[in-house]
Structure 1
Amino acid sequence: MKQMKLAQLIILMFLLLTTACTRQEHFIKDPLYRQKVETQFKKQEELAKNKKDALFKILDQGLSLREKEAMKFLFAHMPLNDLADYDGEFFLEHVRKSFEAKETFSWGKKVPDKLFRHFVLPYRVNNENLDNFRSVYFQELKDRVIHLSMKEAVLEVNHWCHEKVTYKQADIRTSSPMSTIKTAFGRCGEESTLTVAALRTVGIPARQCYTPRWAHCDDNHAWVEAWVDGKWHYLGACEPEPDLDMAWFTEPARRAVLVHTKVSGQYDGPEEIITKSPRFTEINLTGNYAKTQTLTVKVEDKHGKRVEDADVQFRLYNYAEFYPIARKRTDSNGTCRLNVGLGDLLIWVTKGGAFGYKKISAASTDLVVVVLDKDPGVEYTVDYDFVPPIEPKPFPVSKKGKEENDRRLKYEDQLRANYESTFIDKNDAVTLASKLGLEPDKVWDYLQKSRGNWQEISNFLTQSAQTPELFKWALPLLSTVSEKDLRDTPADILLGHLRHSFIHSGNLPKTDRDSFVKYVLNPRIRNEIIIDYKSFFQGEFDADFIKKVRQDVSILIRWIRDHIQVHPVANYYNVPITPRGVYRLRVSDSASRDIFFVGLCRSFGILARLEPADKTPQYVSNNRWIDVYFKDQPSEPVSKGFICLEQVDKGSKLIPEYYIHFTLARYANGEYHTLDYGENTKLTEFPEKLEVETGHYLLVTGNRLKDGTVL
C-alpha cells in the first residue's frame, strides 16, 4: 500500500512538473526573433493605447509564458482593424485552441515552430470578417480527422467544407467562415478562407493563395495550400479531389502572371519576398504553378539619373483597367526585381508626383528601363496589345479514385441540400407577411435572399411591428442593404438602426422620404460589416454637440481632424474599421475615417454618403452634396467639369459595358485611380454629361479575344 501511494505521489509530482515546464516553455524559442516581436509589440501597444485595457490587460491575467508570447506575436502584427474591433479575450481563445490542436493531433509534433507560428496560429486568413470558428467547430472537425494521416486529414477537411459550402458569386465583402456556412455558398475568396480556417483548426499549416487577376480572362481566383509532411500542396477550396495537387484551376494557374499570399509577421521562408513590412510579409508563389521570368525594373529620371525608393507597380490589364498585381520599391541602384509569369504587363512607376510607364512582355524581356518623364496635362492616345502566357499542353489527369470521389461529392451535395431545406419557404413567408400586414412578394424576396439568416430577418420584421410608427420603415430599411447583409446581419443590429434613425432627423422623413431612407436610415456605408453604430454615437455625444453639428457640419469635420489619427499603412488588409472601432481606437486608415464620418452624420440625422464613383465623403447642405476634405478643406467648393462618353460606331450591336470594355480613372499623386460606376453598367445608361471633379482623366478601352489577348 505504501509503495502504491509512493508511486501515485511520484506520478502526481511528474504531472505537476510537466505542467510547470509547459507553462514556462517559450513559444518563440529564438531570442533574437523574440526581441523583434517584443519591439514591434511595444509599437502596436502605443498605437492602440486608447484601447489598452480592452486589448492588453488579458496579458496580466495568469497566462502561461507560451500563451503570452503567442498573444504578443498576434498583437505585434495584427492589422489596425483587428486592434479596433476586437478585444483581448477574443484573441486568447484562438491562441488556446491553436495549442490544443497542436497537442491533440499526431502531426502536431511534425509541424516546425516557424510554420505553426505563421500558418496555424494566425486567426486571420485574408480580409474576412472574424468569428469564433475554431472554438465552435474544433470538436466536429476533430472527430472527422483524429485517426487519419496528415494527408488524409487535409482531403477529409476539404470534403467537410464541401458539405457546408459550394461556389456562388458574391460581393467584395468577405464573410466570416461561420457566416459562409450559414449561407451554404460563397465566392472563391470565402471558400478558401473557410478551408484555411478549418485546416488551421486541426493544426495543419495552411494559407490562401491568390492570383489578383488572371492574364487570360477578366477574373481572379483564390485557393488553398496546405503543408503536409514537409511540403506545400495545393487544393481547390470546398472542391474535393481524389488527391492533393489536383484542381480545375491547374491549367489556368500555369498561365498566371502572379500568385501570392500575405503572411502574418516577419516570415523568412524559402519563398521570394514581394513586400516585407513590420506587420506582414507578402510572398511570391507563382513559381509553384507557372513558368516565370525574373524581371528587373530600372528607374531613371529625365536626366538619366537612377531613382531610389520609387514606387514600381506591375499592372495587368483586367476588367478594362490596369490593375496593380504587385508593388515594389527601387533600391539605391534604382532597381527592383520580381518573378512573374510569362505574360504582358504595364510597368507603372511614380515618385513625388512624377511618373512613367512601359509595356513589356515577360516572355521575351528580363530588363525594363522606365523613365519618369510623363506629364498628366498632355492629351494623347496609345495603343497596346496585351498577350497572356501561352496555353501549355495540359498535364495528364489521373482517373484514380475519381469514381469514389464523385460518389462522395453527390452525397455531400445532398447533405448541403438537406440543410438548405430548413430555410423558410414561400408559403411560410406569405403567412408571416399576412400576419404583419406586409406585401407578400417583398417579404418573400428578403427572406429568400437571407438564406440561413432568415430567422433574424423574420425576427426583425416581427419585433418592428411592436412599434407601429417605426414598422412602416422596416421594409424600406431592408431595401437599402446588400444581399450579403441580409445573410449575416442579426435582427438586433437592424432594429438598432430602425429605432435610432429618427431621433435627430426632425421632419426629414416626411419632407424627403427617399433621401432619408438612402442616406440616414441606411446602415450600409461602403463595404464594412454592419454594426449598430447609431445608438452608440447618440450615447457618446451629448445633445448640444449634435445640435451644433446639425447646424454646421464643419464642427464635426474639425472634431474628426483633431481626434482621429490616420495611419497610412497599419490597416494592411484594407478591411474597413467599423465606425465604433474608429471611435474607440482613435486611429484609422483614411477610408475607414470616411466611413466613420458618414456614420456619425447619419447618427445625427444628417444626409451623408460616399460619392459613388470616387468615394469622397459628402453631406447635404442647401439641397446639394458638399465634398469633405479632412487634410485641406478648400475655402471654395471644388470645381466640377463634364466628361461626354459617346460610342463612335453607332451601328454596332455591341453596347460597351463598364469594367468589361472601358473604365475611367482620375489622376492623383502620380497614378490614375479607377472610378467606380458599377460593374456591367452599359454606356447607354450613362448620362450625356458625366459630372466629375476637374482634373486629368484616363479612359481605358479594350476588347478581349477568345485566346485571352486584349486589343
Structure 2
Amino acid sequence: MHQSKTLYSPYKKNIESVLDTAGGNRAQIETFLYKFNNNHEKMQAAEFLTANLPPCDSATLPSELLIENLDYAFLARESTLWGKDVSWADFLNYVLPHRVSQEEAVKWRKIFYQELLPIVSKCKTMREAVLAVNLWCFSKTGFESTQRWDQNPLMTINRGYGRCEEAVIFTVCALRSVGIPARQAMVPAWQHSNDNHTWTEVLIDGKWHYLESANPDYGLDYAWFSGSVRKAPLVESYAYGNVKQPEFPVLGRRVGCTLLNTTSMYAPASRAEILVTDSDNKPLNKVTVYFSVFNYASLRPVAAKQTDENGKTSIILGPGSVFVSAAYENATAYAASTWIPGEETSRKDIQLKLSPNNKPEGTILFRFNYSDKLAQSAPAKNSEGAKKIEFDSLKKDRLAKFEGMKKGAEIFDTALSSSIAKAGLNTPEILEALNSCSEKESEFMAETIRQMETADLIKISSNELISNADLALKAREDAGKAGLKYDDKIFTQYVLSPRIMYEQLQPWRSSLYPFFRLKKGDKISDKINSVSRFVQSLSTVTRGPLGNSLTPLGVFTSNRASNDDEINIFAVAALRSAGIPARYLDEQGWAELFDGQKWTPFYPEKSSMTGKQNATAESTAYYSNWRTIKFGLNGFPKGSKPPQYFKDFTISKLENDSFFQIVEKTISGSCNENIWEISIPNGEYYLISGTRNANGEPTVSLIPIKQGQ
C-alpha cells in the first residue's frame, strides 16, 4: 500500500469505508488517492472526492478517469477569470465532482474544457459565461423523453437530445468544466399536474440562480416552469459531499450527498412540525414519515424524514396539500396537511398517532391554488426575438449531423438502417461491429441491434458488441452440451441481450463468463446453485441518491450490493453468462430462468426455493389465476371520455404501510362504456383516483381492495 497523509485526513473514516467497498477495484481508487501526495490542495481534493464516492464508482472507476477529472477541475480554476473567486468549499461541492446525478461516470471534463474555454475566455463575467455555456449546450442537444435510467453527458451529445434530468447532467458538467459552480435542483413531483421537473442552479458572486438546462429561451432566474414552481410542494438541490455551512436548510445527509431544501428560493414556504406517537401518546423514535402529493393518479412521496428521540421531525414545504403517513411495527397513521398562503400564515403542526389496523380510506380535496401577487410575468423568448436566426441555425447544424449518420447507415444496410441510426453520433461504432463480426455472429449481431435500447446503442463500442455476441454464443454452446437447449428467440432476448432492467450498461459478460461458464461435466442445477452461493456471499453496502445502481460488473467486482434489485439483476447476468436464459420480474422481486421447457422462479438468495411457484404468498398469487375487479369512476358517465390509467386512476400498493407504489406491469385490463375490468394477482391494493377542478386541484379518492374482494 502507498504511504499517504490520508492517515490524518478528516475524511479518513469515509475513505477507509470507500476503499473497503471497492473490492477488486481498490487498487484503482488508491492510485488516484495517492497520486497527489506532493500537492496539498490536490491531495485534499482527492480525499474529498474519494470519501464521497458512491458504491458504483468505487467498484468500477479507473484511476485515470478520477485523475483527469481532478487535474482539469484545477486547470479550470487557474485559467478562468472567476476560478479563484470561487471559495474552496464551493469548489469541492459544486465544481470538482465528476458526477451530477445517477448517470454513469465518464471522462467528460477534458473534452468540455477544451471546447468551452475558448468560448468563455471571451466573457467578461461569470454571468455572461453561464449564458454562453448554456447556448453551447443548446447547440449540442434538444429535449425529448428518453428512458428511465440517466444518460451520461457524452451519450446526450451522441443522441442529440435528452429528457430534463439528462439536460441538467449535461449542462452542470459543462459549467463545472470551466470552473462555474453548478448543481441539480428538482421538484420530485408536481401537484398541479403529473410528472416532475429538474433544472440547473449556478452560483454567481455568492448567490444561487437558476436556468433551464440547455435551453437559452430565457436568461437567469426565469424559465417555462417559473409559474409552476410557485406551487411546488418541495424543491430539493443536490450537493456532492457534506455541505458544512449550507445557505439553505438541509433536507437530509446521505452517503456522499447533501440534500438541500431550496423551496423558499422558488415559492412561498412554511415549516411543518410533526410529532409521531403511539396510541398512548408516547413519542416514537426513528420512525420514517412520508410526505406525498397526487401525481400520476397515485400518491407519490416527495420527501421522507425520520423522527428524533422526542418523536419529532420537521420539514419546509411549499403551498398546498400533502398526504402525511408513517408506520411502526403493526401501527400506522395517515393525515392530510394543507397550507394556503393568504389564508393562514403558516402550516399547522401535525400529530400522527399510530394505531393498529388503521388503513387510509376516503375522499379529500388536495388544494394548492392561491392568490400569487409575486408571480413573474414571462419575458420575451430569445428564440422568438433578435436571436431567432442564430438559434435556428444552431439547431439546424445539430440535426444535420444526425442526418449524415442516417444516410451512412442506409448505404451500409437498408433493412437495418433505422435501428443503426438510433445510435446517433455513435453510428460508426455500430457499423464497425457489423462489418467486423464473424459470419457466425453476424445474424445475431443484427438482431441484437434491432432489440437494443437507443440509450445503449449511443454508447456501446464495437469491441463490446462483438465480445458480447462471441461469449453469448460460446455460453449457449456450453449449455447445449450440458443438456439445456432453446430456440433463437429465447437466446436473443434472455441470453444474448446485455440489458436486464434499468441498470447502466457495462460490459459484464467478459468478466462473468470465465467465472460462471459451464465446464465439461457441469450440471445446469449445480451452476444455478453456484450463482446462488455467490449471491449469498455478497455484503451489503449503503447507497445514497448520487450514483447509479451497482451494475452486474460492479456487484461482481466489489462483492457487494445495496438492494434486492441489484442482487436479482446480477443473478440474471450471471445465469446468462453461463448460457442459462434468465429475466428479472422487478415488480415481483424475483428472477425467472428457462429450463428448456418453461419459465420457473429463481430466488437467488434462497436456492432451495428455486422452481417452486408456491414458495411465498406473493409467488403463489402471481402464478395462480389472477383476480378480476370491475369498477366505474365518478365523473366519467357512460358516453364520456373513458378514464385513463396513470392520468385518472391507478391500482397502487401500500408499501410497508407507509407509501404508495403504482402497479405498472403486473396488471392487465380493458374499458368498455367507461367500466374498467382489471386483472391482477390476488393481494391487497388501493384504487386511487382523482378528478381535477377548474384550478387543477384534484379531489382524491382512496378505496381499499382487500384480499379476495
- What interval of TM-score do these two structures reach, taking the shorter chain for normalisation? 0.7 to 0.9
Amino acid at match of 1:106: L
Q: Report matched runs for 1:138-537 at 5 Å.
A: 138-148=113-123, 149-241=125-217, 243-267=219-243, 268-277=245-254, 279-352=256-329, 354-363=331-340, 365-375=347-357, 381-390=361-370, 392=372, 394-399=375-380, 403-425=385-407, 428-433=408-413, 440-441=414-415, 443-464=416-437, 466-467=438-439, 469-505=440-476, 506-507=479-480, 511-537=486-512
* Counterparts in 2 of 1:278 and 1:199: CA distance versus 1, 3 Å: same
Deviation of 1:248 after TM superposition, in Å, equals 1.4
* 1:648 partnered with 2:648: no
Kindly indicate whether the alpha-carbon contact (under 8 Å) linking 2:256 and 2:546 is maintained by their aligned counterparts in 1.
no
Kindly indicate whether the alpha-carbon contact (under 8 Å) linking 1:256 and 1:389 is maintained by their aligned counterparts in 2.
no
Kindly indicate whether the alpha-carbon contact (under 8 Å) linking 1:154 and 1:199 is maintained by their aligned counterparts in 2.
yes
Instruction: Report the secondary structure of 2:227's partner residue.
Output: helix
Kindly indicate whether the alpha-carbon contact (under 8 Å) linking 2:80 and 2:178 is maintained by their aligned counterparts in 1.
yes
Amino acid at match of 2:658: E
Kindly indicate whether the alpha-carbon contact (under 8 Å) linking 2:288 and 2:305 is maintained by their aligned counterparts in 1.
yes
Kindly indicate whether the alpha-carbon contact (under 8 Å) linking 1:656 and 1:683 is maintained by their aligned counterparts in 2.
no
Deviation of 1:190 after TM superposition, in Å, equals 0.7
Aligned to 1:16: none
* Counterparts in 2 of 1:50 and 1:451: CA distance versus 1, 3 Å: closer
Kindly indicate whether the alpha-carbon contact (under 8 Å) linking 1:266 and 1:278 is maintained by their aligned counterparts in 2.
no
* Counterparts in 2 of 1:126 and 1:389: CA distance versus 1, 3 Å: farther
Deviation of 1:238 after TM superposition, in Å, equals 0.8
Kindly indicate whether the alpha-carbon contact (under 8 Å) linking 1:672 and 1:698 is maintained by their aligned counterparts in 2.
no
Aligned to 1:40: 14
Distance 1:153 1:136 in 2: 17
Deviation of 1:85 after TM superposition, in Å, equals 1.9
Deviation of 1:291 after TM superposition, in Å, equals 0.5
Aligned to 1:437: none
Deviation of 1:552 after TM superposition, in Å, equals 5.6
Kindly indicate whether the alpha-carbon contact (under 8 Å) linking 1:664 and 1:700 is maintained by their aligned counterparts in 2.
yes
* 1:637 partnered with 2:615: yes
Distance 1:706 1:514 in 2: 51
Amino acid at match of 1:478: I
Amino acid at match of 2:349: L
Kindly indicate whether the alpha-carbon contact (under 8 Å) linking 2:36 and 2:46 is maintained by their aligned counterparts in 1.
no
* Counterparts in 2 of 1:682 and 1:405: CA distance versus 1, 3 Å: farther
Please say which of residues 663-672 and 408-417 is displaced more in the overlay.
663-672
Kindly indicate whether the alpha-carbon contact (under 8 Å) linking 1:550 and 1:604 is maintained by their aligned counterparts in 2.
no
Amino acid at match of 1:462: N
Instruction: Report the secondary structure of 1:323's partner residue.
Output: strand
* Counterparts in 2 of 1:374 and 1:188: CA distance versus 1, 3 Å: farther
Please say which of residues 236-245 and 299-308 is displaced more in the overlay.
236-245
* 1:699 partnered with 2:693: no
Deviation digits for residues 154-191 of structure 1 (CA, Å, limit 9, x no counterpart) = 01000110111111111111111111011111111011
Kindly indicate whether the alpha-carbon contact (under 8 Å) linking 1:537 and 1:603 is maintained by their aligned counterparts in 2.
yes
Distance 1:243 1:400 in 2: 9
Aligned to 2:707: none
Considering only aligned residues, what root-mean-square deviation do their CA atoms show, in Å?
A: 3.0
Deviation of 1:319 after TM superposition, in Å, equals 1.1
Kindly indicate whether the alpha-carbon contact (under 8 Å) linking 1:659 and 1:680 is maintained by their aligned counterparts in 2.
no
Distance 1:451 1:597 in 2: 32
Deviation of 1:105 after TM superposition, in Å, equals 0.7
Q: Percent identity?
A: 25
Deviation digits for residues 540-574 of structure 1 (CA, Å, limit 9, x no counterpart) = 34644993454562332122112x1122x335336
Please say which of residues 175-184 and 549-558 is displaced more in the overlay.
549-558
Distance 1:167 1:698 in 2: 35
Distance 1:631 1:357 in 2: 35
Distance 2:139 2:149 in 1: 23
Kindly indicate whether the alpha-carbon contact (under 8 Å) linking 1:477 and 1:522 is maintained by their aligned counterparts in 2.
yes
Deviation of 1:109 after TM superposition, in Å, equals 1.9
Distance 2:77 2:202 in 1: 16
Kindly indicate whether the alpha-carbon contact (under 8 Å) linking 2:298 and 2:650 is maintained by their aligned counterparts in 1.
yes
Q: Report matched runs for 1:11-26 at 5 Å.
A: none
Distance 1:235 1:501 in 2: 46
Kindly indicate whether the alpha-carbon contact (under 8 Å) linking 2:330 and 2:356 is maintained by their aligned counterparts in 1.
no
Kindly indicate whether the alpha-carbon contact (under 8 Å) linking 2:36 and 2:42 is maintained by their aligned counterparts in 1.
no
Please say which of residues 622-631 and 168-177 is displaced more in the overlay.
622-631
Amino acid at match of 1:664: I
* Counterparts in 2 of 1:49 and 1:400: CA distance versus 1, 3 Å: closer
**What is the aligned length?**
665
Distance 2:330 2:379 in 1: 54
Q: Report matched runs for 1:575-590 at 5 Å.
A: 575-590=548-563
Kindly indicate whether the alpha-carbon contact (under 8 Å) linking 1:264 and 1:279 is maintained by their aligned counterparts in 2.
yes
Distance 1:47 1:580 in 2: 14
Distance 2:676 2:581 in 1: 24
* Counterparts in 2 of 1:545 and 1:357: CA distance versus 1, 3 Å: farther
Amino acid at match of 2:377: P
Instruction: Report the secondary structure of 2:101's partner residue.
Output: coil
Distance 2:462 2:276 in 1: 55
Instruction: Report the secondary structure of 1:347's partner residue.
Output: strand
Distance 2:422 2:50 in 1: 37
Aligned to 1:556: 531
Amino acid at match of 2:368: P
Aligned to 1:104: 79
Please say which of residues 628-637 and 638-647 is displaced more in the overlay.
628-637
Deviation of 1:623 after TM superposition, in Å, equals 1.6
Distance 1:453 1:180 in 2: 11
Instruction: Report the secondary structure of 1:210's partner residue.
Output: strand
Aligned to 1:13: none
Deviation of 1:594 after TM superposition, in Å, equals 1.7
Deviation of 1:616 after TM superposition, in Å, equals 2.7
Distance 1:46 1:612 in 2: 29
Kindly indicate whether the alpha-carbon contact (under 8 Å) linking 2:238 and 2:257 is maintained by their aligned counterparts in 1.
yes
Kindly indicate whether the alpha-carbon contact (under 8 Å) linking 2:57 and 2:547 is maintained by their aligned counterparts in 1.
no
Please say which of residues 634-643 and 347-356 is displaced more in the overlay.
634-643
Greater share of helix = 1
* Counterparts in 2 of 1:596 and 1:49: CA distance versus 1, 3 Å: closer
Deviation of 1:321 after TM superposition, in Å, equals 2.0
Instruction: Report the secondary structure of 2:385's partner residue.
Output: helix
Normalising by structure 1, report the TM-score.
0.87
Instruction: Report the secondary structure of 1:369's partner residue.
Output: strand
* Counterparts in 2 of 1:223 and 1:38: CA distance versus 1, 3 Å: same
Deviation digits for residues 136-156 of structure 1 (CA, Å, limit 9, x no counterpart) = 121210000113111100010
Distance 1:585 1:511 in 2: 33
Deviation digits for residues 439-472 of structure 1 (CA, Å, limit 9, x no counterpart) = x44x1320232222222222233234x32x3322
Distance 1:683 1:478 in 2: 33
Distance 2:206 2:339 in 1: 32
Normalising by structure 2, report the TM-score.
0.87
Kindly indicate whether the alpha-carbon contact (under 8 Å) linking 1:527 and 1:576 is maintained by their aligned counterparts in 2.
no
* Counterparts in 2 of 1:197 and 1:389: CA distance versus 1, 3 Å: farther
Amino acid at match of 2:266: Y
Aligned to 2:568: 594
Amino acid at match of 1:73: F
- Gaps in structure 2 of 5+ consecutive residues: 700-709
Deviation of 1:324 after TM superposition, in Å, equals 1.3
Instruction: Report the secondary structure of 1:324's partner residue.
Output: strand
Please say which of residues 522-531 and 100-109 is displaced more in the overlay.
522-531
Amino acid at match of 2:393: Y
Instruction: Report the secondary structure of 1:493's partner residue.
Output: helix
Deviation of 1:493 after TM superposition, in Å, equals 2.1
Deviation of 1:413 after TM superposition, in Å, equals 1.8
